[in-house]
Structure 1
Amino acid sequence: MEASRRQGVRKQKKRSLLYSQNAAPYFFIFPFILSFLIFFAYPVATTVIMSFQEVLPGQTTFIGLDNYKELWNPTFLTAIRNSTVYTLLTLIILIPVPLVLAVFLNSKLMFAKNFFRSVTFIPALTSVVVAGMIFRLIFGGQDGALLNSILTNFGMEPKAWLNHGGTSMFVLVVLATWKWMGINILYFLAGLQNIPRELYESAEVDGATTARKFYHITLPLLKPISIYVFTISIYGGFSMFAESYMLYGSNRSPNNIGLTIVGYLYQKGIEQNNLGFGSAVGIALLVITLIITLIQLKFFGMFKKEEQG
């Protein structure tokens, strides 16, 4: 009888713990915490440790800062320059242009809105591998490549697009624009549809022009979305790898004109099986993107104090 009573008390405690309002938040956030620890915290900690080691098959040796001392070499600096230029160019294009297009697509005067929204989003559904192969065929150096054929028909000389730094970067930016334009338009459209129409109607009553409404209503209320798009675009720019790899068919490009930081990480860590040095490259990339992101958040984002009216 006593054992039965104790068992009933234990069941009641378990039931009360399961339905407890204090325990419920921890229960719901536990899957996120677990996945964060397994898939982010543990890999980052392991990478930091490996960056101070020489990791060879069946052998691990602690070498201190040697990987970081070896890191600052001309090839790595070239990768940083390429990634930085690529990121800046994509930011210049993939922030204002999608914003303007989203405003047009959200306008009451725009016809066939759903059709144009679908058309702009289709490239985002295309695999980077497929897109890279298609662009490699379009911008090939052969006379029979699509773009060179068009140039030849207009009496111009064909170009080796992927063999020169300027034209190679141009092709990478065009690929990024084609691939990610629809995603950013979708983000801005979501923000625009949350802006109350009454604000625009009140501004029209006060005689505000379209430009003034865009500057004084649209841009300020789209600030959170703009900061988000800006942040993920910085990360996407510095983490670019597959696009360059598919354009050249490998991680090798003439004079490293297509080499990125992630490409250099892949070259050292995977191709040359130097996981310790590759980890140092990964940590350097993490620090670079973290610093740039914190700077832009400081001046434009969540750390910037709003002016009190």
Structure 2
Amino acid sequence: MIKNFLYSQKVAPYIFVLPFILVFVVFWAYPMLNSVEMSFQKTMLGQEAQWVGLDNYDKMLGDKVFLKAVMNSVVYMVLTLLILIPIPMLLAVFINSKLVWGGELFKSTFFFPALTSVVVAGTIFRLMFGEMEGSLINSFLGLFGIEPIKFLKGQVTGFVALVTLATWRWMGVNILYFLSGLKNIPDEYYEAASIDGASSFQKFRHITMPLLKPTTIYVLTISIYAGLAMFIESMMLWNGNNSPKNIGLTIVGYLYRQGIEKNDLGYAAAVGIVLLTITMVINLTQLAFSGMFKKED
């Protein structure tokens, strides 16, 4: 009786998806609903929660440090999108072309940075962009007669270091994403275009880019999330969550400061809900503009 029930064509699909549903409910849905509830409370470890309504959100909107963290995260996200989408796409096209020998070697080499611990990478980059004359970047600039720069104490130079770290870490991963998308484009399309006299640029514009659209949208979506959720890179680059004048503070860093360092879990939950809302709005907007929600004819 039980065996017949489990092997039923109507029941079997639900059994297969049951593990996913359980994981989703326990590790995502329940914590999310709990966080929404906490965002309307004043909750601290060792104290009873008190209902405060919208006080946490009112406090957040009037907090200049929070607005600074939001601006830093948005700027970081935009800069990484401008670098880590078009450049990996072009490099992937170049590596996939017949002009490059040993493409597999390039793939392995580019992926190594993603395997490096972000703690180790952040520490190395902090030393590279140090303000001392002996730091790697200042030593290089010294060859051109440029005085040592205090990279991690300025808003613009600090972002140069932060974006450089992100570029080094994730460039290879995005290249692999685009390479996998290129493998799904039939060679016959390019051969037909060559017979018609199309140039390399025309092939890229009219064949490669349109057929890479699903991959591009995927990379764009995860890059938006990664940009807004960045925290450990900033924390390691400034050796803590207290950068000068909060030039490296991100939304997640602000959440960590309020929830862990100041033990204000209710306020931190409100910050998390706002971060989720911002991320969802941006991603759903770009997915709508890209036509992902349109029904195919």
- List per-residue Cα deviations over 1:157-196 (Å, max 9, x = no partner): 0010000000001111110000000110011000000111
Alpha-carbon offset, residue 298 of structure 1 = 1.2
- Mapped to 1, the partners of 2:291 and 2:161 lie a distance apart of 31
Query: What's the RMSD between the two structures over aligned residues?
Result: 1.1
Aligned residues: 295
1:39 is matched with which residue?
27
Query: Quick one: which of 54, 72, 77 aligns to 2:67?
Result: 77
Please tell me whether the aligned partners of residues 132 and 247 of structure 1 are also in contact (alpha carbons under 8 angstroms): yes
1:267 is matched with which residue?
257
1:232 is matched with which residue?
222
- List per-residue Cα deviations over 1:89-117 (Å, max 9, x = no partner): 00000000000000011112211111111
Alpha-carbon offset, residue 305 of structure 1 = 6.3
1:7 is matched with which residue?
none
Alpha-carbon offset, residue 303 of structure 1 = 2.3
- Mapped to 2, the partners of 1:99 and 1:155 lie a distance apart of 35
2:77 is matched with which residue?
87
Identify which range, 133-142 or 109-118, moves more after superposition. 109-118
Secondary structure in 2 aligned to 1:27? helix
What are the residue-to-residue correspondences of 1:55-66 with 2, within 5 Å?
A: 55-56=43-44, 57-66=46-55
1:30 is matched with which residue?
18
Please tell me whether the aligned partners of residues 261 and 285 of structure 1 are also in contact (alpha carbons under 8 angstroms): yes
Code of the residue aligned with 1:264 in structure 2: it is Y
TM-score normalized by the length of structure 1: 0.93
- Mapped to 2, the partners of 1:63 and 1:102 lie a distance apart of 52
What are the residue-to-residue correspondences of 1:130-141 with 2, within 5 Å?
A: 130-141=120-131
2:199 is matched with which residue?
209
- List per-residue Cα deviations over 1:238-276 (Å, max 9, x = no partner): 000000000011000011000000000000011101000
Alpha-carbon offset, residue 304 of structure 1 = 4.8
- Mapped to 2, the partners of 1:304 and 1:163 lie a distance apart of 47
1:3 is matched with which residue?
none
TM-score normalized by the length of structure 2: 0.97
Rg bigger for which structure?
A: 1
Please tell me whether the aligned partners of residues 83 and 260 of structure 1 are also in contact (alpha carbons under 8 angstroms): yes
2:57 is matched with which residue?
68
Query: Quick one: which of 193, 213, 232 aligns to 1:223?
Result: 213
- Mapped to 2, the partners of 1:165 and 1:257 lie a distance apart of 5
What are the residue-to-residue correspondences of 1:94-173 with 2, within 5 Å?
A: 94-173=84-163
Code of the residue aligned with 2:123 in structure 1: it is M
- Mapped to 1, the partners of 2:291 and 2:174 lie a distance apart of 18
Go from structure 1 to structure 2 and tell me whether the alpha carbon gap of 1:305 and 1:274 turns closer, same or farther (over 3 Å shift): same
Alpha-carbon offset, residue 150 of structure 1 = 2.1
- Mapped to 1, the partners of 2:277 and 2:153 lie a distance apart of 31
Q: 4+ runs of 1 displaced by more than 3 Å?
A: none
- List per-residue Cα deviations over 1:9-62 (Å, max 9, x = no partner): xxxx11111211111100110000000001100110010000000012232111
Identify which range, 72-81 or 140-149, moves more after superposition. 140-149
Which structure 1 residue ranges, 5 or more long, are not aligned?
1-12
Which structure 2 residue ranges, 5 or more long, are not aligned?
none
Secondary structure in 1 aligned to 2:50? strand
1:8 is matched with which residue?
none
Identity %: 58
Query: Quick one: which of 50, 55, 65 aligns to 2:38?
Result: 50
- Mapped to 2, the partners of 1:109 and 1:166 lie a distance apart of 38
Please tell me whether the aligned partners of residues 188 and 222 of structure 1 are also in contact (alpha carbons under 8 angstroms): yes
Secondary structure in 2 aligned to 1:249? coil
What are the residue-to-residue correspondences of 1:228-307 with 2, within 5 Å?
A: 228-304=218-294
Identify which range, 51-60 or 219-228, moves more after superposition. 51-60
- Mapped to 1, the partners of 2:139 and 2:174 lie a distance apart of 32
- Mapped to 2, the partners of 1:114 and 1:166 lie a distance apart of 36
Please tell me whether the aligned partners of residues 297 and 304 of structure 1 are also in contact (alpha carbons under 8 angstroms): no
